[in-house]
Amino acid sequence: MKKIYSFLIFSAIIALSYNANAQPCTPNTACTDTLNPGEICPETLPNGVVGVPYNQVVTVIPPATGLVGTTPVTLYKIKLKSVTGMPPGLTYQTNPANAEFALYNVAPNTCTPLTNPKYCILISGTPTTAGTYPLSITITPYIYYQVAGSCYGSVSPTDVVDDTSLTIIITPTAGVSLVNYNKFSLLESKPNPFNYSAKIGFISPNSGMVKLKVFDVIGNIIYSETITAIRGENYFDFDGIKLGKGMYIYNISNGKESYTKQLIKN
């Protein structure tokens, strides 16, 4: 019996040791950075569903250069400082665990750029609340410099915040008809007919500029507005309090696709 207990304890120690050294994710080797601005793969994150486990690996290729103000600099490494705006129930882990994505060999007396460095972030958990969640990613760049044949990184005076690239959409449940968030399309205006104002909505498959035009029945433009859309549901807040009663036509365009519908003023 003592031998069995000893074996079980030994096995538990080995398992704990393995888990402590295990990495949360592996970078996608197919992710490439062709223009050297740095890269994130995939560019569009898959949708999640409330109550359904979510697990997505994001591969990061750090940029080799950057700007401090308007001055170009060579980067030694970047550090992922934070990811905010995550859907409730989801968290993230990085590989490496210190969230430092190196660009140079850090061995003593060595200043060799790493070949094709790739790192990863694991976003996982079970989402609890439906919605569209643009992620805000804060990066601390380290500027390359060299002393006596060794490479070092000096912390940039300013962090870099990317709040436009990645969005996670969490849909309510798996058993209902869901909107296609991968296609530019219109949502129903609310309310329609309206008395004073209306929310004119659309779905955008990615971030970008989207323009609204409102016309009277003879084709005169009576209102125009452009907003920066995020991936998912977006709305124009249209104030029509000064308009007369009747029918109006509105058009929403992202520069590539355009849709037109009617709007009724009571």
The percent of residues above 90 in pLDDT, for the chain, comes to: 38
Q: DSSP states of 91-118 as a string?
A: EEEEESTT-EEE-B--STT---BPSS--
Calculate mean pLDDT across residues 157-183.
Answer: 74
pLDDT at 35: 67
pLDDT at 109: 66
The percent of residues above 70 in pLDDT, for the chain, comes to: 86
pLDDT at 12: 39
**14 DSSP β-pair partners:** none
Three-class SS of 30-94: CCCCCCCCCEEECCCCCCEECCCCEEEEEEEECCCEEEECCEEEEEEEEEEEEEECCCCCEEEEE
194 near 218, Cβ under 8 Å?
no
Per-residue pLDDT tens over the stretch 212-247: 999 998 889 999 999 999 888 899 999 988 899 999
pLDDT at 9: 39
Amino acid at 135: L
Calculate mean pLDDT across residues 200-213.
Answer: 91
Q: Which of 11-25, 45-59, 98-112, 172-186 has the highest mean pLDDT?
A: 45-59
Report residue 133 CA to chain centroid gap: 8
Q: DSSP state, 182?
A: T
Give phi and psi for 126, each to the nearest 5: -120, 110
